[in-house]
Amino acid sequence: MDFKKDLEALGLKTVNYKYNLSKDELFHEAIANDKGRTKKGGPNTDQKAFATKLGVKGPLMYYTDPDCTGRRVKDTYSVAWPEVADQIWWKADMQQFDPVKYQGLLKRVLEHLNAKKATLYVKDVFVGADPAFAIPYRFVGEYATHAMFAHNMFPKDLKGVKDVDARRWTMINAPSFVCEPDRDGSRSEAAIVIDVKNKICLVAGRADYCGVVKKTIFTVGNFLLPLQGRLSMHCSANVGAKNDAAILFGLSGTGKTTLSADPARRLIGDDETIWSDNGLCNLEDGCYAKLIDLNKDAEPVIWEALMKPGTIIENVPPPKGKKLSEVTPHEFDLTDKSVTENTRFSYPLSANPNVMPNAQGPHPATIVLLTADAFGVLPPMAILDGKQVMYHFVSGFTAKLAGTEVGVTEPQAAFSACFGGPFMAHKPSVYAKLLREKMEKHHARCILLNTGWSGGAYGTGKRISIKDTRALLNAALRGDLDEGKVEYELHPVFNMKMPKSCPGVDDKVLNPRNTWADKAAYDAAATKLRDMFRKNFEEKGFAKLGIEPVM
């Protein structure tokens, strides 16, 4: 097969391959062969994948290394080749990797796999559902679970893609390798390195969280696609009965997946979307949802998908006193965070009964900027004008929710440019300018939707109910909150237009100050958050990029 020649040219000489296995085959391979550490201080020989009572007709249960229950952001790099170094946005979660050190590390990883005569699972997929720009992506790794995840999460057998071999990216994923920082140039025993020059994603060491397989190549897409005039976005997208599309920006945990999985709207995708001249298009073919505290009534689509074959449940422990082989997925305690708060679930788009054909749709009528405000001071909804859209898009404020990243155990205020800063390979202005151009060209409305806290800060106030959030979102999507259809009041600190009424929502909660017993405490907290916005804006130098301050 041609893939063997390609990988031999890369340096893999004495390994064994299992190429493009079916999901059922990968299910059994994962249970039999995926070995590694699952407990702190435990051996590297633990079984990592299991079946439930449903066997192959149900989900695959998978457990990551305890040091990698979320993305290893401090161990993510791009090779600082002189040819591309000026184009990349270097930052704490995209650090420079020395080209000489990288070449040595890659060689050692390949030699390690050759020496152990590793069995590697190979899965050929694409990044993007539109053949006009889809990026060929080849996963090559030690875990069948990761190959199954790639099958779930990305389009396969896409027709009409040009220059597949010349444009293909390859991920080499070797969890059994151990990096040595002094020798390899890494920070720890693991490194995730993007090599733009040679189209390689290298995952060396214990970085076996499934999200690494998708977020690494998403970062690659965020580098390549804007250079073609296509806006790559960390957002979900869906389409209503009137062919009215919406995109929902937001960091993990703010509601992108939950709010886009709406039985009344057809899903384009839940996390990574492209806005091109053809309209909207999913970068993926699957969903990767947070499972902690999942409510079957609030999120029926995800709840039903838990029982379906070919899905992967990550880091959810079995009910106490029971073996995984004895339980069905609906018996799991989804409030159990004993392994991690960042429990996850990968399922194909086809598990959602309401998906747009080819995961594509029209240009959006509504743009939603999601945030989860841990301070409890932002309004549940605000209507944004063009200048405010740019400001809040590059600010990307939210609470970094527990578990999504290693070391985060409670919500923290965070500013992440473009609502996905770690994955944005270019400077924020590149994406912001494309968003502004496309929004104005296609006359899209924009709202800020806060899914965070009300009546006080995190720990004192309460999380805004998903019922209220959905009612506000649905009203905005219908156009009920458009100019002239409802009265507004201006927030005196944030300078945002807040609707005074909304069908199905208590008027009192629309102005966050009303929900605080201590009004002076609210004013102080709101002023503190506004000053944080201003400080972030100044430190990032957004004014020099043509973004106007709006608060």
**Catalytic site includes residue 497:** no
Indicate which residue of 256, 290, 363, 445 is catalytic.
256
* Per-residue H/E/C for 299-340: CHHHHHHCCCCCCEEECCCCCCCCCHHHCCHHHCCCCCCCCC
* 303's tokens: 């709840």
Indicate which residue of 48, 344, 363, 497 is catalytic.
344
Sign of CA dihedral 277, 283, 287, 293: negative
DSSP H or E stretch at residue 276: strand 272-276
**127 strand-pairing partners:** 135
* Amino acid identity at 287: C
Indicate which residue of 71, 206, 214, 265 is catalytic.
71
Instruction: Measure the CA angle with vertex 497, ends 496 and 499; round to 5°.
Output: 140
Please give the Cα distance from 84 to 526 (Å, whole number).
41
Please give the Cα distance from 194 to 223 (Å, whole number).
11
Buried b / exposed e along 2-29 (16+ C-beta atoms within 10 A) = ebeeebeeeebeebebbebbebebbbbb
Give residue 279's region: left, alpha or beta (phi > 0; psi -120 to 50).
left
304 burial via Cβ count (<10 Å: 0-12, 13-18, 19+): middle
**Catalytic site includes residue 151:** no
**Catalytic site includes residue 451:** no
**Catalytic site includes residue 266:** no
End-to-end Cα, the chain, rounded Å: 59
**Catalytic site includes residue 465:** no
* 354's tokens: 């309401």
**Catalytic site includes residue 257:** yes
Indicate which residue of 37, 215, 400, 445 is catalytic.
215
Please give the Cα distance from 224 to 135 (Å, whole number).
9
Please give the Cα distance from 551 to 549 (Å, whole number).
6
Question: Which residues are CB-neighbours of 517 under 8 A, at least 6 positions away?
Answer: 455
* 415's tokens: 């500013």
* Residue of 506, 408, 397 lying closest to 455 (CA atoms): 506
Indicate which residue of 76, 257, 346, 416 is catalytic.
257
Indicate which residue of 37, 48, 123, 234 is catalytic.
234
What's the CA dihedral at 486, 492, 496, 502 to 10 degrees?
-30
Instruction: Measure the CA angle with vertex 308, ends 307 and 311; round to 5°.
Output: 105
**Catalytic site includes residue 215:** yes
Please give the Cα distance from 296 to 405 (Å, whole number).
25
Question: Residue 521 has what DSSP assignment?
Answer: H
**Catalytic site includes residue 252:** yes
Please give the Cα distance from 76 to 92 (Å, whole number).
9
* 375's tokens: 């301070």
Catalytic residues: 71, 215, 234, 252, 256-257, 271, 344
